[in-house]
Structure 1
Amino acid sequence: MHVFTTWVRAALAGGALASAVLIAAPAAHADNPATGKGPATAQSMPEIAARLPKITSADVLKLARSQIGISENAKGGGTKFQEWYMSTPRARETLARDGGKLADYLNAPWCDMFVSWVGQQLGIGPVMGADAYTVKHAQWFADHGRWGHTPKPGAVVFFAWSGSKHIDDINHVGFVVKDNGDGTIQTIEGNTGDGGAVEARTRPTWQVAGYGYPMYPGDLSASS
């Protein structure tokens, strides 16, 4: 554990792993979208979404865009996204799953904490999911039938810098803003760039492992 953590932090300092995970994770499991743990057997995703605020993909992107410019400190942490995640029951659940100490989250890679924070701030955490580990968050979408390979505004985009399409190879996460139609997408991402910040980026789609599709309650209302 100590060796892995030291290696990740050293790589972050050199910019090589801007969105690596702090610790290795165990085998995937299906989490309940309403609670973040246990099998989702009681209610379907549409039933859960129907009870949530009528937030749309446009609302999500508006909030994400408003965070552009927020950056980490020299230790790779100290953002409000990391502090928020540490305060949540979900942080205790992921610690029980992955190991480590709660304080480790304060300087851990925070791209997925940013995505999770956006969902929670808008009251749609049960359909956005919440995690600090990109691989597990992607698997959560896949386990609930919300995974695919088509870029859509508001989709959660998971990157594998190697070009792999396997969930286990995912390195980073953000939000899709637009499909440019030329083999690139526009995104908003946390923990990106040289200084580790929230930034708008243009990415080639060959780096995308897949997309998670939150069931946005407001978009469901508009289409019904």
Structure 2
Amino acid sequence: MSDAAKIIAVAKAEVGTHESRSGGHWVNDSKYNRWFGKIPGYDRDGYGYPWCAVFVAWCADKAGLAKLYPKTAGCSTAVAWYKNQGRFSEYPAIGAQIFFGPGGGSHTGLVYDYDATYVYTIEGNTNTDGSAEGDGVYLKRRARRDSYVYGYGYPKFAEGIKSADPKWAAEAPKPAPKPAPAKPSAKPSVSLANVVAAAKRDPKLPQGGTTHAADVKLVEAALKAEGLLPAKYAADGSFGSLTVKAYAAWQRKLGFSGKDADGIPGKSSLEKLGAKHGFTVKA
């Protein structure tokens, strides 16, 4: 999973989370504030401060990307952090930190998508109206050209960043390499010498006797597929008299006659049987 996808997944999982209430009112004290720590001078024993920037920092920490986002409760401080690294733009980017208001100091969130008209965000300390002093984590849709949108901080993702800013095209994530085509499975191999020996010896053995069963079974299966060998004799590995008869029929099917169609496999007939039924022939 890409860095951008990691933090977006963490942030989306928080949608619906709310800050604490007291006396019938939302009081800014959230689990994100408790993670970040006290700030002297605020209510709720120092935990009742606006937490939109802290929410982004918390998501980055949980995604294992703490070094890529500023850990601060101040939006203006976060803007300066990105600008000092030369990673700030007026264009949206996937996984970027969006900033609102004069100098970007009013509110912030995370971008999870954008198009030509809108930017789609996950924001903490907002509400259904998009306030900078809300009550929870919400998915929002913001107009890209809204004057309230100040700009975007770009984290330095390992994969690069997908941005609408043409100046950042060089950092666009590279397409995933196409997987190498699967190598075809190696075909089984039949030894010509083994099946010739079996065709000469097995008919003289007691019923079902075998000489080179593994090789013969492949030939039997092919002869069965050709409709030349009954199924009950097509898997015993014995090149008995019925198999010899079936192989002779295969040779005649290929146009051989006389001694060339005596049921003893030859190189040409065996290779043609293998080519049709999925095995190779070795001497």
Give the TM-score band, short-chain normalised.
0.5 to 0.7
Q: Which has the higher contact order (CA 8 A, sep 6+)?
A: 1
Identity among equivalent positions (%) equals: 27
Q: Which runs of 5+ in 1 are unaligned?
A: 1-53
How many residue pairs end up in the alignment? 154
Contact map agreement 1:158 1:210 (CA 8 A) in 2: yes
Normalization by structure 2: what TM-score?
0.49
Residue equivalent to 2:197: none
Task: Check 1:69–1:215 CA distance in 2 against 1; reply closer, same or farther (3 A cut).
Answer: same
Residue equivalent to 1:190: 124
Which of 130, 133, 136 aligns to 2:71? It is 130
Contact map agreement 2:123 2:139 (CA 8 A) in 1: yes
Residue equivalent to 1:181: 116
Query: How far apart, CA to CA, are the structure 2 residues paired with 1:223 and 1:127?
Result: 20
Which of 141, 166, 171 aligns to 1:202? It is 141
Query: How far apart, CA to CA, are the structure 1 residues paired with 2:157 and 2:138?
Result: 23
Query: How far apart, CA to CA, are the structure 2 residues paired with 1:202 and 1:82?
Result: 25
SS in 1 for 2:5: helix
Equivalent residue letter for 1:196? D
Residue equivalent to 1:29: none
Residue equivalent to 2:36: 85
Query: How far apart, CA to CA, are the structure 2 residues paired with 1:128 and 1:211?
Result: 12
Query: How far apart, CA to CA, are the structure 2 residues paired with 1:180 and 1:213?
Result: 17
Q: Which runs of 4+ in 1 moved over 6 A?
A: none
CA deviation vs aligned residue, 1:5-31 (integer Å, no higher than 9, x gap): xxxxxxxxxxxxxxxxxxxxxxxxxxx
Contact map agreement 1:141 1:212 (CA 8 A) in 2: yes
Q: Give the C-alpha shift of residue 203 in structure 1.
A: 1.0
Q: CA RMSD in A?
A: 2.6
Q: Are 2:87 and 1:146 equivalent residues in the alignment?
A: yes
Normalization by structure 1: what TM-score?
0.61
Equivalent residue letter for 1:174? G
SS in 1 for 2:71: coil
Query: How far apart, CA to CA, are the structure 1 residues paired with 2:121 and 2:42?
Result: 31
